[in-house]
Amino acid sequence: MSKSLWLDPISRAFFDAWIDEIDLPDEITEQKIEAFSKRWGRLDLDAFKRALQEGDVADRLCAIFVLGYFAPTDVGGLLMPFLYSSVRKERWASAIALSEDKDERAFPFLQEFLLEQMEYFPTYGEKDLNKAFSNAVIVAKERFDNPNWHEVADPTIIKAWDEMQTYGAEYWWYTLHRINITKLLGAWGDSRAIPVLRQALQRCWEIDQLPHFKSGIPGSFFAKTWYHLQDELAYALGQLKAWKALDGLELPQMRFQLARMYLVFGSLKLDLHLLYNGDIMKLINTEDIDLDSIVNVLREHFGLSEFVSKGTLQRFQQWYRERTGT
């Protein structure tokens, strides 16, 4: 979605409801929003309130985000019940939407959801399923001269593959919103979030070691998002000035170094949207980031000398790229 669309609270809310379809062209997103408008008459608060009460799960999810972003001070009573919804996405959406106005009632739910079901556990062994899928595609083309493998493949493979795709999309939705929750907790400025942010960072590293993640599932593109989550967790801890948060965490040395740097960035509230592929030195050289402020934090709070602090900055991009294998 383009930046201009995202700046509109309604478009932003629809984007968050459909965040697992992050690569949708703007025109498709606009068509989906128009379809919602036709179902409910128009795009105003009354329409979204009706969708919240009368719509299906998909429309309710959109309405939760819209009401939270568009009129946060007026709809807390409407959104509160959805914190206890039987639909997991509605629970997450309502907590995120209520947090737009720092509604204290949502704060414990954000902490709970941050740690909720972080592991990637698909129903089927994905290596075997991927192999079966590849074979099905080959057979469809060579034996049946039919490029649509769904029409000729074993129904068991079709069912398993479709379930895996659905699971992957769901996991992607929650991971992207886990990043949003992390940002909300960091910006909230409440030190009560420090233990859960710290625990989530440790859990990320533990999940990295699980066989399913080591196998490259759900893929290199997702891995970048997974590392983004880890960086945001450390950044949020920095926002909360949790200087000792990394002490005792079982992180490998390179991961520890990266986490410590993001903690420093968070403490300084540096805008890292300009951080191209971890090239922190480029930002320093162009004066987008102040070198002395970073060195001062490393010296004051982590006991590094000026020489070691500058060397740490020099090696940041190397660590960043080694982690992603680029």
Q: What is the pTM of this model?
A: 0.86
Specify if 258 maps to a domain. Answer: no
Specify if 41 maps to a domain. Answer: yes
Q: What is the dihedral of CA 246, 251, 257, 260, to 10 degrees?
A: -20
Whole-angstrom Cα distance, residue 308 to residue 312?
6
Quote the longest CA-to-CA distance of the chain: 69
Token pair 């900055």: residue: 313
Specify if 288 maps to a domain. Answer: no
Specify if 25 maps to a domain. Answer: yes
80 is in which domain, residue-wise? 1-101
Q: How many CB atoms lie within 10 A of CB 182?
A: 27
Helix axes 253-268, 306-324, angle to 10 degrees: 110
Whole-angstrom Cα distance, residue 91 to residue 84?
6
Instruction: List the one residue out of 312, 279, 276, 285 whose CA is nearest residue 297.
Output: 312
Q: Please give the single-letter amino acid code of residue 162.
A: D
pLDDT recorded at residue 3: 39
pLDDT recorded at residue 326: 63
Beta-carbon-side half-sphere exposure of residue 120 (alpha carbons within 13 Å):
32
pLDDT recorded at residue 211: 66
Q: Splitting the chain (326 residues) into consecutive groups of 10 residues, what average pLDDT does each group show?
A: 54 89 80 91 90 95 92 83 96 95 94 93 57 59 55 66 75 94 97 98 87 50 84 97 95 92 95 75 84 96 95 90 77
Specify if 22 maps to a domain. Answer: yes
pLDDT recorded at residue 152: 60
Specify if 38 maps to a domain. Answer: yes
pLDDT recorded at residue 28: 85
Token pair for 85: 């919804």
Q: Please give the single-letter amino acid code of residue 278.
A: G
Q: Using alpha carbons only, what angle is made at residue 116 by residues 124 and 221, rounded to the nearest 5 degrees?
A: 55
Residues sharing a CB contact under 8 Å with residue 96, sequence separation 6 or more, in sequence order: 16, 65, 68, 106, 110, 177, 180, 181, 184
Specify if 51 maps to a domain. Answer: yes
Q: How many CB atoms lie within 10 A of CB 181?
A: 29
Specify if 129 maps to a domain. Answer: no
Count of structural domains within the chain? 1
